[in-house]
Structure 1
Amino acid sequence: MTKRNHTTYALLGLITAGYQTGYEMKRMIDQSLNHFWKISYGQIYPALRQLTEAGWVAASPTLSDKKPDRKEYLITDEGQKALHSWLEEPINGIASEKNEFLLKLFFSKEEEREKTALKVKEYQRKLEERLEAYQAIEQSILSCSSHSKDREYWLFTLDYGKRTTSAGIEWCEATINRLNGKEGTNG
C-alpha cells in the first residue's frame, strides 16, 4: 500500500461520509474541514485521479439532464484498508500554526501600544465571528435528522474549534488589558 499525503486520506474520509463527487467534497471542505485542514479546489481532482489510479476509489460517470456529466467516487476495499491503516498510525507531532497576527505581535515593540491593542481587539472580533460560525455549524449538525456515525466525531472536532477559539478570545482580553496597563483585570 502506497503512503499518500494527508489530503488523500481526507478525501477518502469524505467519500466514506457520503460525499461522492468532487463538488460535494469541495462544499463540505469549505463548510467544515477548512477550519482545521486546508484543501484547495485545485488539489481535489488530481488527488481523486491518483486515488483512482491507485485502486483506492472507483469512479463512475453519472449522467445528468441539467448539469454536465460528473463522476461519483466510491471507496474500494483497498481504499478502506488504506484509510484504516492511516487512522491507526500514531500522531507524529502537533502541527505548528502559521498565524500572521502572532508574527506581527511578536515584533510589535516597533509600534505604539495603543495601536497594538487595537490590532488585538480586531483579532478578538474575528475570533468572535469564528465562534459564531462554529455555533451555527453545530446547530446545523444537530438539526440534521441523520444520526450517522460521523455526526458524533464531527461534533468532537467542532468542540475543539469552539474551545480553542474561546481560549483565544480570553487571551485577547488579557493581552489588551496588559497593553493598556490593566494587568490584574480580566475584562
Structure 2
Amino acid sequence: MARENTCQFAILGMLCREPMSGYGLRQAIERTVGHFWQESYGNLYPTLERMEGEGLVALDREEHSPGGRVRKVYRVTAEGRRVLAQWLCRPVVPHVERNELLLKLFFGARVGPEASLAHVERSRAEAEALLAALRPIDEDVRRSREGDPELPYLHLSIRAGLLGLEAHLRWCDEAREALQRLAHMKDSKTKEERYER
C-alpha cells in the first residue's frame, strides 16, 4: 500500500490558523513544526494545487509583491477542515527510524573508536545548539499564547523536543565515556604489542 502524502495535513493545519501563500506556509512550517516535521518544499506547491482541485483549500486573495510577482493566498475550506479532523483522529502510522549515527556506531568496530567518538561529539554539539534554540521558543510560546486554547497542544510538542534532546545529550555523554575507554584500551594494547616485539 502506498504511503499517504502527509504534506497536505501539515498544510491544512497551518491554513486552519490563518490564510497563507505557499511561501508563507513554507516559513510557518520552518518556524513551528519544522523542528520535528520535515517537508519537501518542492512538494508544497504541487500539493497546494492538487488540494485546491479537490476543494480542500480555496484561493482567498492574490497579493502583489513590490517586485511585481503575484502571490496566491489560500484558505482552508469546510471540506479541508473535515479531512484534517478525520486524519487527526486516525491512529498514528508507525514511524520507522532511520538514524545514520546509530547505524555507523553499530558497525563502528570496523574502524575503531576514534571515528565513532567524532560522530558522537558532532551529534552532541548539534543537540546542544538545537536545545539552546528551542528553550527560548518554548518560553516565548508560553508567554505570548497564555490563555490560548492551542497552548497545551503546542507545549506538548515542544516538550517532546526538549526532553528528547536532553535524553540525547545524556546518551552522548555515556557513549563518549564508553568510546574513550575503548580508545584507551586500544592504545594500551598497541603499546603492549610494541614492547613484545
- Fold equivalence (TM over 0.5): yes
Residue of structure 2 equivalent to 1:52: 52
Structure 2's unaligned 5+ residue stretches are 183-197
Task: Read off the aligned partner of 1:130 and give its amino acid letter.
Answer: L
Q: How does 1:6-155 map to 2 (within 5 A)?
A: 6-64=6-64, 66-67=66-67, 68-93=69-94, 95-144=95-144, 147-155=147-155
> How far apart, CA to CA, are the structure 1 residues paired with 2:51 and 2:130?
33
Deviations 1:50-108 (A, max 9, x none): 11000011113323362522111111111111011111111232x12222222111111
Q: Does the C-alpha gap of structure 1 residues 152 and 66 become closer, same or farther in structure 2, counting only changes over 3 Å?
A: farther
More helix per residue: 2
Q: Distance in 1 between matches of 2:161 and 2:93?
A: 20
Question: Which amino acid is the alignment partner of residue 121 of structure 1?
Answer: E
Backbone CA RMSD of aligned residues: 2.2
Look up the equivalent residue of 1:168 and give its one-letter code: H
Question: Secondary structure of 1:38's match?
Answer: coil
1:146 CA drift (Å): 7.2
**TM-score between both structures, scaled by the size of structure 2:** 0.81
2:28 counterpart letter in structure 1 = M
User: Take 1:127 and 1:178, find their aligned partners in 2: how far apart are those partners?
Assistant: 19
In the alignment, the residues of structure 1 paired with residue 45 and residue 31 of structure 2 have an alpha-carbon distance, to the nearest angstrom, of: 18
Query: Quick one: percent identity of the two aligned structures?
Result: 28
Conserved in 2, the CA contact under 8 Å of 1:17 and 1:150?
no
Indicate conservation of the 8 Å contact 1:16/1:75, yes or no.
yes
For 1:49 and 1:65, the matched residues in 2 are separated by 21
1:144 & 1:170 partners in 2: Cα distance?
31
2:179 and 2:158 map into 1 onto residues whose CA distance is: 31
CA deviations on 1:92-151 (whole Å, 9 max, x unpaired) are 32x122222221111110122233223212211111111112113223323436754333
Shift of 1:165: 0.9
- Number of residue pairs aligned between Structure 1 and Structure 2: 179
